[in-house]
Amino acid sequence: MSTTPTSRLTDIVSRHQEELLNEWVEAQRTAAARRMDLITDVDLVRESRELLGLLQRALADGDGSDIDGPRWEPVRDFLSGLSRSRAASGFSPSETAMFVFSLKQPLLARLSNEFGDDAQALSQIVWEMTALLDRLGLLTTEEYQKGRESVIARQQRELIELSTPVVKLWDGVVAVPLIGTLDSERTQIVMESLLERIVETNSTMAIIDITGVPTVDTLVAQHLLKTVAAARLMGADCVISGIRPQIAQTIVHLGLTLSEVTTKATMADAIAHALDASGLRIAPAIGD
Amino acid sequence: MADLRADELEIGESDDVVRVRQLVRDAAVELGFSIVDQTKVVTAASELARNTYTYGGGGHFRIELLNSGSRHGMRLTFEDDGPGIPDIEQALRDGYTTGSGLGMGLGGARRLVNEFHIESKAGGGTRIVATRWR
Amino acid sequence: MPETERIPILKMGDLLLVTIQVDMHDRIAMRLQDDLTERIVSDHARGVLIDISSLEIVDSFIGRMLANIAAMSRVLDAQTVVVGMRPAVAITLVELGLSLPDVRTALNVEQGMQLLAQGGKTNGWPRDGGPPR
């Protein structure tokens, strides 16, 4: 039998699995961070048992030092899922991490029993065990972090989309009035949502009005032109309206050609153009 | 704490271009790329894989998933022992062709990814590493 | 050597309709070009509709194929319209630098058919009419 510290750890976890589970669950129950309101005892025991089982298998299969490797994937997956479900239940990231850390005490007790006399071996294996559980605990925190980040990213995107709605003017024509400073990211998001709306509404014309945009830099101008090109590739035409004199100058100075893009000075002109192209016109209602 | 997984395949026939696309698409989905970013990176991979097959005489493709903390992305490596590209600058310029059609797609592929490294010389093979973050 | 899969070509009156639903191997793409050219002649087709609404990826090879089909059909006195390009695909093609100038496009099969009926020469709306309705 090999005597590497990891295999001793595996050995101990295997032989004392039930005791470890009981002591660990007990430690969680009495801990200040018990949160009886957020998790039932049944679930607590079930989750602890499952992690212990996965831990034992991962240790048996492979190296305790390579928790990024494929053998530890079941443990990583379990902890990711646990972190997410605990966060959803209302646990703080520390409370979730404590779930993992509180396993140290029972393990420590077992290790002391096994290696009591051999100070060097004991300190070695205690180090291995601590390092392992620290990293697993940190994993739950990282997962929490990722979850927060994706919520923030989603909310940001929704905010941008909501603030620049693409409106259908009438059958076949949509318009997006851009307002405020355009940065690269916002422009890209708006442009993507414009193209999506074109498909959804089967519109063959889109009016992009930039009356409310104070300045247009190279990047934004390029995004606009790329959007027009993309819309054309899809089978729709774009009209850019609301180009103020300063912006016209900027565009010329930047050396960008707008020769293939229909431009109108005002939104009203663009709408007139769209009406004309649609074969429609606005006429007074027939009086009674 | 870095999470690194990798996959590779040999590009020996034109069907392998489709396999490269599938590997890259699966990775992009797993990494949580937006639809537009998925399309961009898979298209870039398709261009580069086809180049490896058509101009490089076949070669090797490797994909690595980079998942560390807040950065999520993939690194794509294309290597061949082909004739190499004598003038890289020109190849990257749009419209450059060695044969008929739309050219090597190198410049286009470069625009579709975030980081792009190319090593090549006449008679010395080519190695391209492209990285796309989420 | 197994027979190469083919993409089916449907005849609708004097139009040919092709729906591309698979991630095409190069061989299938070349086969489609050949098959279409033959069918335009044998079926006396005056229009070709290529539906790419299921295509998630259009790279320069596929782009070239579409451009070739458009050019060849024109020589054979038929018009080609590519329909259903996805926004993500359009954005990517623009980034690639492919503008497909001689390929006419429409949002869907219905608009594509109207475009063919009106016989316009440029992309978008024909000169003497409004948008396809």
pLDDT digits (tens, 9 = 90+) for B37-53: 999 999 999 999 999 99
C122 contacts in chain A (CB < 8 Å)? none
Neighbours of chain B (3+ CB pairs under 8 A): A, C
CB contacts, 8 Å: B36 with chain A: 192
> Most A CBs within 10 Å: which of B31, B68, B70, B112, as the mutation test of the A interface?
B70
In a domain, C124, yes or no: no
What chain A residue is nearest to C88 in terms of C-alpha separation?
A192
Domain that holds residue C42: 9-118
* Cross-chain residue pair B39–C57, CB shorter than 8 Å: yes
Write down the pLDDT at residue C125. 40
How many folded domains does chain C comprise? 1
- Mutate which of A198, A219, A233 to test chain C, going by most C C-beta atoms within 10 A? A233
Kindly report the backbone phi and psi dihedral angles of residue C13, in degrees, each rounded to the nearest multiple of 5, phi listed first.
Answer: 65, -125
CA distance A64 to chain B (A): 15
Q: Name the least confident of A72-86, A189-203, B18-32, C112-126.
A: C112-126
pLDDT at residue B97 above 60? Answer: no
Q: Which among A187, A258, A173 is positioned nearest to A216, based on CA atoms?
A: A187
Name which residue leads in pLDDT, A186 or C54. C54
> In 3D, which of B129, B97, B96, B133 has the Cα closest to residue B110?
B129
What is the model's pLDDT at position C124?
A: 43
Whole-structure pTM value: 0.75
**Which candidate, A226, A171, A236, places its Cα nearest to that of C105?**
A236
Across the interface, whether the CB atoms of C125 and A236 are under 8 A apart is answered no
Judged by a CB distance cut-off of 8 A, whether residue A142 touches chain B is yes
User: Mean pLDDT lowest for which of A181-190, B108-117, C14-23?
Assistant: A181-190
Average pLDDT over residues B78-105: 71
For residue A117, the 8-state DSSP code is T
Instruction: Tell me the domains of chain A and their CATH numbers.
Output: 5-159 (1.10.490.10), 167-278 (3.30.750.24)
The residues of chain A scoring below 50 in pLDDT are 1-2
Tell me whether residue C2 is in a domain.
no
Q: Is residue C122 pLDDT above 70, yes or no?
A: no
Q: Which residue of B has its CA nearest to C87?
A: B36
Q: Of all residues in chain B, what percent carry a pLDDT higher than 90?
A: 57
**Chain A touching partners, 3 or more CB pairs below 8 A:** B, C
Q: What is the mean pLDDT of residues C38-66?
A: 94
End-to-end CA distance of chain B: 18
**Res. B25: pLDDT tops 50:** yes
Residues of chain B with C-beta less than 8 angstroms from the C-beta of A150: 32
CATH number at residue C60: 3.30.750.24
Whether the pLDDT of residue B83 is over 60: the answer is yes
What the block records as the tokens of C62 is 């596929």
pLDDT band at C130 (very low <50, low <70, confident <90, very high): very low
Chain A within 8 Å of C132 (Cβ-Cβ)?
Answer: yes
pLDDT digits (tens, 9 = 90+) for C73-106: 999 999 999 999 999 999 999 988 887 888 899 9
Instruction: Give the residue-averaged pLDDT of C96-123.
Output: 83
| Whether residue C118 has pLDDT greater than 60 | yes
Task: Answer whether residue C78 is part of any domain.
Answer: yes
Q: Which of A115-119, C14-18, C39-43, C64-68 has the lowest mean pLDDT?
A: A115-119
Q: Dihedral (C-alpha) A259, A184, B21, C19: value to the nearest 10 degrees?
A: -50
Domains of chain B: 2-133 (3.30.565.10)
Q: Do B38 and C98 touch (CB under 8 A)?
A: no
pLDDT of residue B4: 55
Alpha-carbon gap: B110 to the closest alpha carbon of chain A (Å): 17
In a domain, C132, yes or no: no
Amino acid at C17: L
Q: Which two tokens stand for residue A29?
A: 């129950």
Read off the pLDDT of each residue in B53-82 and give the average, rounded to a whole number. Answer: 89
ipTM: 0.86
Q: B129 and B112 in contact (C-beta within 8 Å)?
A: no
Nearest chain C Cα distance for residue A245, angstroms: 28
Quick check: B22 pLDDT over 60? yes
